[in-house]
A and B are shown apart, each in its own frame.
Chain A
């Protein structure tokens, strides 16, 4: 084991925290993995009208890092990472 991996290593409590944060976001918005897949396909279809994208490696996820909502809590946001193969149509 190199010295670098010693510093990079996460404690299991950190892993638990990270897993929970992602888990609770999808629990709270009541968005099933199947629905995420449907949303992903729809987004891919729309973008494909305008440019060539790599639908097989694109990713979408809901995260909590959005701006503050009215009640002071952070609003969830939908992130999409869509690799573009060719910008021209």
Chain B
């Protein structure tokens, strides 16, 4: 029986697609069979992040409308034998499918894959409802910013209302240097506010930009973000991986001395 995971966030641009691509690739690297479904109809991007944009013939809407067989819309990954992508339609809009159709589609994939991962569109409208309809488990991605956390909180409420019981948090794009200076919320601050179990913390890492440029997920590579995404995959597989210390808000002394320096600088200015 497969596990159906939806990757969602509410706010756009916090790293849903990057997380979907890396978690899917990481699980495939661990020998699991995985299908990534791009549920962002009209604004598909998972194909680009995976580097598979040139191989698309059929898409999710074609399958639902019966224009092709299920197998024809599944694109095999370049590097991993057990990894497939089902792209979204680019020239249609979110209202052309219903949550019921998504549930049916997912059910037809369940016996072939260990993991079905859905990349949810931003927002809370029809596209979101479609993406979460067949999910057993949700990963909420957020960044340590007021706007992203506010939207994540709203999404968590909607997931609860839709009876998705298992909801985990991925905190993306954390900057340790800012956390240490007290200019970015800590992991504990965010957990305290959102009250979700933590699945992973991904540090802000330029290698993510480079990997996206190349269309090659960086999970498992030696970079900080690559390791963080791989740890998320291990935790999904039930392994206990300790969390790295991502910088507590600084000690009282360093905070005071830091502020003192800052005020001196301001006085000079």
| Contact bitstring A18-35, B, C-beta under 8 A = 1, else 0 | 011101100110000000
- Bound CA span A17–B189, Å: 7
Interface pairs (6), CB distance under 8 Å? A7-B256, A11-B181, A13-B183, A17-B189, A20-B146, A20-B149
Whether the pair B150, A20 counts as a contact (CB closer than 8 A) is yes
Inside 8 A of B266's CB, which chain A residues have their CB? 1
- Among A11, A23, A28, A73, which residue has its beta carbon within 8 angstroms of that of B146? A23
**Contact status of A13 and B179, CB under 8 A, knowing A7-B256, A21-B193:** yes
**Mostly helix, strand, loop or mixed at chain A's interface?**
helix
Nearest residue (CB) in B for A10 is B182
Whether, in the assembled complex, A89 has its beta carbon less than 8 Å from a beta carbon of chain B, the answer is no
| Contact bitstring B228-269, A, C-beta under 8 A = 1, else 0 | 000000000000000000000100000110011001001100
- Among B193, B255, B259, B267, which residue has its beta carbon within 8 angstroms of that of A17? B193
Whether, in the assembled complex, B154 has its beta carbon less than 8 Å from a beta carbon of chain A, the answer is yes
Whether, in the assembled complex, B196 has its beta carbon less than 8 Å from a beta carbon of chain A, the answer is no
| Contact bitstring B13-35, A, C-beta under 8 A = 1, else 0 | 00000000000000000000000
Inside 8 A of A9's CB, which chain B residues have their CB? 259, 263
| CB-based A-B contact count at 8 angstroms | 53
Whether the pair B256, A16 counts as a contact (CB closer than 8 A) is no
Distance in Å: Cβ of B194 to nearest Cβ of chain A? 9
Distance in Å: Cβ of B255 to nearest Cβ of chain A? 7
Inside 8 A of B193's CB, which chain A residues have their CB? 17, 20-21, 24
- Bound CA span A19–B149, Å: 11
Whether, in the assembled complex, A12 has its beta carbon less than 8 Å from a beta carbon of chain B, the answer is yes
Distance in Å: Cβ of A21 to nearest Cβ of chain B? 7
Whether the pair B149, A11 counts as a contact (CB closer than 8 A) is no
Whether the pair A11, B150 counts as a contact (CB closer than 8 A) is no
Whether, in the assembled complex, B186 has its beta carbon less than 8 Å from a beta carbon of chain A, the answer is yes
